[in-house]
């Protein structure tokens, strides 16, 4: 099995090489020729995944290591039977913990306590919901 991965995915070669031949390239430079005989495409938002990239290829799965999928023509992939997935919420816990740590750092640095303070959270999606909790 051939797997084409975006170079902006840390340890992609190490993670995928146990599954098959792994080609790691800058996401902006992945071409139709690169994926022609690939089964899996693992990308980030710098790679536009559409008919121009995948038509005639053997790609059966596209995974993006991003929360959004606006760089992928998911409707076209669905019609072609190409499975795909994104990673919404994958770093939500870490980001919410960072917010808590940053607030504690600010309070310490500027000599105030957080108890009794009110903060506003704009948006209660994957990250905001955990910050509120």
Q: Which residues lie closer than 8 Å to 29 by C-beta, 6 or more apart?
A: none
Residues of the chain with pLDDT under 50: none
Sign of CA dihedral 118, 121, 122, 124: negative
Secondary structure (DSSP) of 34-76: HHTT-SEEEE-TTS-BSHHHHTT----EEEESSS--TTB-HHH
For position 85, what pLDDT does the model report?
A: 96
Asked if 93 contacts 110 with a C-beta cutoff of 8 angstroms, the reply is no
- What does the pLDDT read at residue 67? 86
133 vs 111: CA distance, rounded Å: 24
| pTM of the model as a whole | 0.76
Give CA–CA dist 66/91, Å, rounded: 10
Q: Which tokens in the block code for residue 99?
A: 């917010």
- pLDDT at site 88: 87
pLDDT at residue number 91: 87
The mean predicted confidence, pLDDT, of the chain is 95
- What's the pLDDT score for residue 89? 86
28-44 tens-digit pLDDT: 999 999 999 999 999 99
**The tokens of 76 are what?**
């076209």
At 14-24, the pLDDT tens digits run 999 999 999 99
């Amino acid at each position: 099995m051939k797997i084409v991965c975006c170079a902006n995915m840390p340890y992609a070669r190490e993670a995928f090489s146990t599954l098959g031949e792994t080609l790691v390239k800058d996401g902006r430079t992945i071409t139709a020729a690169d994926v022609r005989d690939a089964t899996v495409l693992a990308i980030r938002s710098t790679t536009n995944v559409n008919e121009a990239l995948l038509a005639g290829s053997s790609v059966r799965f596209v995974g993006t290591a991003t929360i959004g999928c606006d760089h992928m023509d998911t409707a076209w992939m669905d019609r072609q039977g190409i499975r795909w997935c994104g990673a919404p919420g994958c770093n939500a816990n870490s980001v919410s913990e960072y917010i808590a740590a940053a607030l504690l750092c600010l309070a310490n640095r500027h000599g105030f306590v957080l108890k009794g303070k009110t903060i506003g959270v704009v948006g209660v999606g994957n990250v905001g919901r955990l910050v509120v909790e």
